[in-house]
Amino acid sequence: MDKVVKSEAEWRVQLSPEEFRVLRQAGTEPAFTGEYVDTKAEGVYACRACGAELFTSGTKFESHCGWPSFYEPSGNDAVTLIEDRSHGMVRTEVRCARCDSHLGHVFRGEGYPTPTDERYCINSVSLRLDPSQ
């Protein structure tokens, strides 16, 4: 997978202001407002910035946290995890491995009945669903 590297100006032209704020400035969309929070459609969730496959609908689950939740990425190299010490907390940030865009955070050990006990809490605005035909 080839890395996607663009200048801030190039990202600003490609992305909407909200997409830029979340994907490139590590923002967060308000809870329960994203288009994929309650989506049940089958398909592949790709990075809205570069199109890389990130998650599949088969790993999406109801966490009732306000953002789409997945229990694992679609591949071992789909995302990168980075320690995030912002806002007085220690969390694990999830970024697209291909373009380094901010997607959300991953939380572990919360007791969800999933195979991994992980919750990839991802901003809808960071994703684009390619529905199965």
Catalytic amino acids? 121
Do residues 46 and 128 lie in contact, with contact meaning Cβ atoms separated by under 8 Å? yes
Strand order from edge to edge, sheet including 102-108: 60-61, 69-70, 118-122, 102-108, 91-96, 79-84
Place of tokens 């109801």: 62
